[in-house]
Amino acid sequence: MFAKLGRIVVRHPWRVIGVWIVAAVAIVGLAPKLSTTTSEVAFLPSHYQSVQAANLQKEAFTNTATPAALVVAERRGGGPLTARDVALLDRAQRVLASRRIPAVNAVDPAVVSPNHLVGLIGVEMPNVQGQLTTAQTYAVLTLRRDVTSLTKGTDLRAGVTGTAAQALDQQKSGQTASKVVAIATIGLILALLLLIFRSPVIALLPVLVIGVVSEIADGLIASLSRALGLHIDSTVSTMLIVVLFGVGTDYVLFLMFRFRERLRAGVEAKEAMVNAVTKVGPAIATAAGAVIIAFLALTLSSITLFRSLGPALAIAVAATLLAGLTLIPAIVSLLGTRTFWPSSAWQREPEGARFGAIGNVLAHHPGRVAVLSAGVLVVLGGFALGFHPSFTLTSGKTATTESAVYSKVLLRGYAAGKAEPTDVYLESTDGTAIPSSALTAYGQRLARVEGVASVAPARVAEHGTVADFRVVLTHSPKSDAAMTTVRGPLQRAADDAPAGTRPLIGGITSVYVDLESAMGHDYALVFPVAAVLILLILALLLRSVVAPWYLMGAVGLGFASTLGASVLVFQDAQGESGLTFILPIVMYLFVVALGTDYNILMVSRLREEAREGRDPRGAAAMAVRHAGPTIASAGLILAGTFASLILAGGTTLSQMGFAISVGIAIAAFVMAMFLTPSLTALVGHRAWWPGHRDEPSPGVPPSAGSMQGVGATRSNGAGESHVGTPGDDAAAATGARRP
């Protein structure tokens, strides 16, 4: 199949390129704009309590809302507010209320904290969830401009924070992060490809092609999101850049290394490209299939964030796969050897024997190599036992934004939960109004809960059937302590509701409690399903029921060691309270799926060398010698592209960038380079049972099965023998054994 595809593409390159151009214009031109959200509540299905509470709030209190923006003021120098400062704050409130800013329902009266250090004006805006509307964005910007103007030249220092302001700052920082990551990713790819091939043509080829594929993928994802009503997280756009360029460059490298190998063997350029697609196509397709299936396994998640993330990334990888097997070969077939211009290094096998030496050591001491490489992974994996989840989805450089700065100012006068209070709703179950005496007693019970700083008097809906108790927690609403309060004593107190009512707890802390519950479900379902599907793909590729098991075992060790390294760096070394809760699933899918790419490439080469007649150790040596440079180059580029996420700043993207880049490095430089070939050499012919895929191809002499490539005396197939050298091994491996 891949041989036929390669010949069609090489014979009709202009038609292939034309089809891609037409498809790109049509998809990009017709696709809607890709919209994202930063709202955690948007990621939960409707049966969770926090979502039901949010829906009840929208229905019962349509004309009022939780203050989505908070004007926070303090005296310059940090002293107590004076009577003049309070008068200025009151005047600012009246001015802001008189402006009748669109999307602002009300501007609450100014209040002063009990210790007189902080002044506060609440600004109510309805339905602020995730990405702000144009009117909400304008409202926050207007508030900030007016507050700055009203306090200019006075003793007050003021700014705007709260849910709406934080969402705006996150959107801005997310856009900046995408630009930074894109520049860093493209720059890294260009630099490394220039270093590897010394050709600007090859360096620019994946960047230009994947740039087009990126636009097509964005268009397809946007169309799918609109059609299915998916919620795309604001970090997806940034991750798409990394996935497309990282994975796409990997596939280009797989193809170009084999193309160059066939050229060095004296094969004509077009035939060399057909051969490259024929030989590498199955590995690329299988690797991409593993990634796509792993991503699609996320559709089983109970969290809509993951259900949206999976198809989006799967579309991106599928588009990249298609380009790697059609568009890239078409362009290269037109360029021929000019692809490597101006370098002439493609014409000769390099004399360096670095990977040959690695192969020699591995072939002679596979047991030691396996134990040492597995031991490193086990030691790092031990730190994974200390993993603790954190439930914030903040991304981007928000630590110095206005909302972050004035959130800290707010803490000088109020409990940590003041900026984002928890709401306890009471809803009548029989349609009758809830008695005021019952509401008073209920509020008093809530106020006595440990971890609750204050409870405001009940806000009652128009018909008296719904009441809202605004609860301010003593701890930060995104902290473990706040979650413990909501999950435990507050929930028990809320459940002790008056007869004929049902309680619902809403707010961001309740959302995090529900997210924690949903994650437990996903860990138990998505992980095993993805693992089984990848195992089946490996079994189909290798026609073996043995090799896939130890390959997946190696990948599992890679996952544990990656999580352990992340815990070691962020929790143990930097003192973070935990790692972002989405990290294990995202890391599992990237490390397992993308890490399997390198295992697939190495094992495919192992099988190919075995079918050339080499024994298991000789096959391992030659596989490392020839697949090693490709895996090392691809792993370096892919790890580097994911590491660029660290430049985006913020907790989520920084942790994801570090973890995935380390996981890719482990997959490439430990698993694929050492652990997988050493285990295969130890298992021997049994690795391919029951398919016998290591049997020599017809016409290959049995004498070729000696440990070629490891300095042994070998036969040239014509009855002559000589001592193998790195250069001779390369010639044997890349010579005209087969077209």
Here the tokens at position 535 are 């195992």
Residue 87 or 194, more confident? 87
Taking residues 618-626, report their average pLDDT: 87
Distance of alpha carbon 70 from alpha carbon 64, whole angstroms: 15
C-alpha closest to that of 320 among 418, 244, 416: 244
Q: Give the pLDDT confidence score for residue 233 in this predicted structure.
A: 56
Q: Give the pLDDT confidence score for residue 35 in this predicted structure.
A: 56
pLDDT range class, residue 46, cuts 50, 70, 90: confident
Percent of the chain with pLDDT over 90: 23
pLDDT higher than 70, residue 711:
no
Other beta carbons within 10 Å of 248: 28
Q: What does the buried/exposed string (b/e) look like for 142-159 if buried means 16 or more CB atoms within 10 Å of the residue's CB?
A: bbbebbeebbeebebebb
Distance of alpha carbon 144 from alpha carbon 434, whole angstroms: 40
Distance of CA 235 to the CA centre of its chain: 8
Amino acid at 336: G
Q: Give the pLDDT confidence score for residue 709 in this predicted structure.
A: 42
Distance of alpha carbon 547 from alpha carbon 685, whole angstroms: 10
Amino acid at 667: A
pLDDT higher than 60, residue 704:
no
Q: Give the pLDDT confidence score for residue 43 in this predicted structure.
A: 63
Q: Which of 7-11, 279-283, 295-299, 725-729 has the highest mean pLDDT?
A: 7-11
Other beta carbons within 10 Å of 117: 17
> 340 and 556 in contact (C-beta within 8 Å)?
no
Which CATH number is 421-506's, of 3.30.70.1150, 3.30.70.1320, 3.40.80.10, 3.30.230.10? 3.30.70.1320
Per-residue pLDDT tens over the stretch 140-168: 899 999 999 999 999 999 999 887 888 78
The residue ranges of every structural domain in the chain are: 2-37+169-381+514-688, 61-161, 421-506
| Residue 255, SS3 per DSSP | helix
pLDDT range class, residue 90, cuts 50, 70, 90: very high
pTM: 0.71
Taking residues 216-240, report their average pLDDT: 69
Q: Give the pLDDT confidence score for residue 707 in this predicted structure.
A: 46
C-alpha closest to that of 568 among 424, 381, 307, 717: 381
Query: Which helix (H) or strand (E) covers residue 579, if one does?
Result: strand 579-580
Give pairs for 680-684: CB < 8 Å, separation 24+. Answer: 680/547, 680/603, 680/606, 680/616, 680/619, 680/620, 681/362, 681/363, 681/366, 681/616, 681/617, 681/619, 681/620, 682/366, 682/367, 682/370, 683/546, 683/547, 683/550, 683/616, 684/616
pLDDT range class, residue 455, cuts 50, 70, 90: very high
* Residue 627 phi, psi (nearest 5): -85, -20
As assigned by CATH, the class of the 2-37+169-381+514-688 domain is mainly alpha
Q: Give the pLDDT confidence score for residue 40 in this predicted structure.
A: 53
Distance of alpha carbon 385 from alpha carbon 567, whole angstroms: 9
C-alpha closest to that of 151 among 70, 83, 68, 90: 90
Distance of alpha carbon 654 from alpha carbon 665, whole angstroms: 17
pLDDT higher than 90, residue 649:
no
Query: Which helix (H) or strand (E) covers residue 164, if one does?
Result: helix 163-197
pLDDT range class, residue 290, cuts 50, 70, 90: confident
Quick one: 736 exposed, middle or buried, by C-beta within 10 A (0-12, 13-18, 19+)?
exposed
Distance of CA 585 to the CA centre of its chain: 9
With vertex at residue 619, the alpha carbon angle to CA 615 and CA 625, rounded to the nearest 5 degrees, is 155
Q: Which of 2-6, 224-228, 586-590 has the highest mean pLDDT?
A: 2-6
Average pLDDT, the chain: 80
Distance of alpha carbon 327 from alpha carbon 324, whole angstroms: 6
Taking residues 482-511, report their average pLDDT: 92
> 96 and 153 in contact (C-beta within 8 Å)?
no
Q: Give the pLDDT confidence score for residue 130 in this predicted structure.
A: 55
pLDDT higher than 50, residue 398:
no
> 667 and 659 in contact (C-beta within 8 Å)?
no
pLDDT higher than 70, residue 729:
no
Q: Tell whether the torsion through CA atoms of 690, 694, 699 and 702 is positive or negative.
A: negative
Q: Give the pLDDT confidence score for residue 650 in this predicted structure.
A: 62
With vertex at residue 38, the alpha carbon angle to CA 317 and CA 32, rounded to the nearest 5 degrees, is 55
Q: What does the buried/exposed string (b/e) look like for 572-606 if buried means 16 or more CB atoms within 10 Å of the residue's CB?
A: eeeebebbbbbbbbbbbbbbbbbbbbbbbbbbbbb
CATH topology of domain 61-161: Alpha-Beta Plaits (3.30.70)
Which of the 8 DSSP states describes residue 45? -
pLDDT range class, residue 644, cuts 50, 70, 90: confident
pLDDT higher than 80, residue 213:
yes
Taking residues 247-252, report their average pLDDT: 81
Q: Give the pLDDT confidence score for residue 563 in this predicted structure.
A: 93
Per-residue pLDDT tens over the stretch 445-454: 999 999 999 9
C-alpha closest to that of 374 among 383, 385, 366: 366
Other beta carbons within 10 Å of 187: 13
* Whether the domain at 61-161 and the domain at 421-506 fall into the same CATH topology: yes
Taking residues 207-222, report their average pLDDT: 82
Q: Give the pLDDT confidence score for residue 222 in this predicted structure.
A: 77
Cis peptide before 282 (omega within 30 of 0): no
Residue 148 or 419, more confident? 148
Taking residues 480-509, report their average pLDDT: 92
pLDDT range class, residue 502, cuts 50, 70, 90: very high
Q: For residue 471, what are the β-bridge partners? A: 422, 455
Amino acid at 565: A
Cis peptide before 421 (omega within 30 of 0): no
Q: Give the pLDDT confidence score for residue 440 in this predicted structure.
A: 93
pLDDT higher than 70, residue 63:
no
